[in-house]
Amino acid sequence: DGGITQSPKYLFRKEGQNVTLSCEQNLNHDAMYWYRQDPGQGLRLIYYSQIVNDFQKGDIAEGYSVSREKKESFPLTVTSAQKNPTAFYLCASSIVQGASNEQFFGPGTRLTVL
């Protein structure tokens, strides 16, 4: 089955730690995205990538880093510089060309700072 997988489902971080969230897709999509979801707020874009070895900052990139070494993978690192990292993190992917650009989402990773 084609889809997007995220791991782990739950992640706990201590103060000062960097943690990496995994996102893998087998939809053959060129574009991948990371969003953050907080209660009472809409999804906010952290980073996106439209092609391997290239990525752009979204609206709230501070304290986060990404890499795109393979088309299928787009890991997100939450660094110790992110002051309020507790949130639900969602990865998505989409095609780049064509009329339909709907994004398909993974199941999410819930990150909690201890």
Partner 1 sequence: EDQVTQSPEALRLQEGESSSLNCSYTVSGLRGLFWYRQDPGKGPEFLFTLYSAGEEKEKERLKATLTKKESFLHITAPKPEDSATYLCAVQAVRRANNLFFGTGTRLTVIP
| Binding footprint of partner 1 on the chain (CB under 8 A) | 4, 6, 31, 33, 35, 40-45, 48, 50, 58, 88, 90, 92, 94, 96, 99-108, 110
- Beta carbon nearer to partner 1, 99 or 114: 99
Nearer to partner 1, 19 or 35 (CB): 35
* CB closer to partner 1, 20 vs 101: 101
Residue closer to partner 1, measured from CB, 81 or 96: 96
Residue 45 DSSP one-character state:
E
7 bridge partner residues = 22
Least Å from the CB of residue 80 to partner 1: 26
The CB-of-15 to partner 1 minimum distance in angstroms stands at 25
Would you say how long the chain is, in residues?
114
Beta strands in 1-114 (DSSP E): 4-7, 10-13, 19-25, 31-37, 44-51, 54-57, 64-66, 76-78, 87-94, 104-105, 109-113
